[in-house]
Amino acid sequence: MENRVALVTGAAGGIGGAVVRALSERGVTVALVDRDGDRLTELAKELRNAGGRAEAFPADVTDSAEVEAVVEAVEQQLGGIDYLVNGAGVLRLGAAKDLTDQDWSATFAVNTTGVFFISRAVVNRMVAAGRRGAIVTVASNAAGTARVDMSAYAASKAAATMFTKCLGLEVSKFGIRCNVVAPGSTDTPMLSALWEDDSAAQASIDGVASAYRVGIPLGRIAQPSHIADAVLFLLSDQAAHITMHDLTVDGGAALGH
C-alpha cells in the first residue's frame, strides 16, 4: 500500500480517524475529507508529525459541485487516487412515524447521496486514467437487520450498500474493486453521544429484549481500529480477488446476517 493515495470521507469521526491513521502508518498518502475543518487540520498535522503524508480537504459530501472540486484538488495536490473510503455518516434516531422530513433527507443526503457523489467523482477519474483502484463503503449491520428507531439510518445504509455493489459490478472490467464493511456498535463519539450513562454500553453487549436486540456474542463493543483493520484488508492487495463483498464486523450482533 506504500506510496499510494487514499481519500477518506468522514475523516474527523471515530472510524474515519482510525482508518486514516492505519493508512498513514502503512505509507499511504491520505486526503482527509470532512465538514469539520478544524479537526481535519489537527489530525493531518498529527499524521505529518508522525512521519506520514496527509492533507486536510474540508468539504460537504452532500454538495455535488463541492465534491467534484475537492476530488480534483486532491488529485492536483497529492496525485491520482488509488483508494476511496466512504466513511462519512450521520445518525438520526426515532420511530419511523415520528421522523421529520429533515431527519429523513439529511440522513440520506450524507449516508447515501454523499456516497454516490464521491464514488462517481473518484471512479470517473480512475477510469479516465486507466488506474486500478479500490473503494470501501462503511455501512452498518443495520443495513440487513431491522432495528427499532433506526429506520432512516438502516434504509440509507442499505441503499449505500447496494449502490456500492452495483458500482463494483459495473467497474470490475476496469480493475476497480468495490466492497462494503458493515460495523455494529463501535466505541465512537456518534455512539457514545446516545448513551445516558455507563450502563448503556453494557446493555448493547447484553442485548435489549424490548428492542429485539440479541446483544453481542463476543461480549464487547468494537473499537474503531477493528473496523479500520477490515477496511484496510479490503483495500489491500490481499483482497485482490474480492469485490462486491459485504464484510460484517459486529462481534456477532447480527447473528451472521
List, as one string, the DSSP characters of 169-188.
HHHGGGT-EEEEEEE-SB-S
Name the residue ranges covered by the structural domains of the chain: 5-184+227-247, 188-221
Active site residue 212: no
For residues 11 and 61, give the distance between their C-alpha atoms in angstroms, rounded to a whole number.
Answer: 12
CA dihedral 80, 84, 89, 95 (to 10 degrees): 140
Q: What is the pLDDT of residues 97-117, one digit of tens each?
A: 999 999 999 999 999 999 999
Of the candidates 153, 160, 180, 228, the residue annotated as catalytic is 153
Residue 106 CA to residue 99 CA, distance in Å, equals 11
Mean pLDDT of 194-214: 83
Label residues 128-148 b or e (16+ Cβ within 10 Å = b). eeeeebbbbbbbbbbbbbebe
Rounded to a whole number of angstroms, the CA Rg of the chain reads 18
194 confidence band (pLDDT: 50, 70, 90): low
The mean pLDDT of the chain is: 96
CATH code reported for the domain at 5-184+227-247: 3.40.50.720
Residue 191 has pLDDT above 90, yes or no: no
Closest C-alpha to 230, from 245, 218, 213? 245
Strands (E), the chain: 5-9, 29-34, 54-58, 83-86, 134-138, 177-183, 246-249
pLDDT at 40: 96
Query: Does residue 1 sit in helix, strand or coil?
Result: coil
Strand pairing report for 134-138 and 246-249: unpaired
Task: Report the percent of the chain where pLDDT is more than 90.
Answer: 92
What's the pTM? 0.96
pLDDT value at residue 189: 78
Q: Element (H or E) spanning 103, and its range? A: helix 101-108
> Does residue 199 have a pLDDT over 80?
no
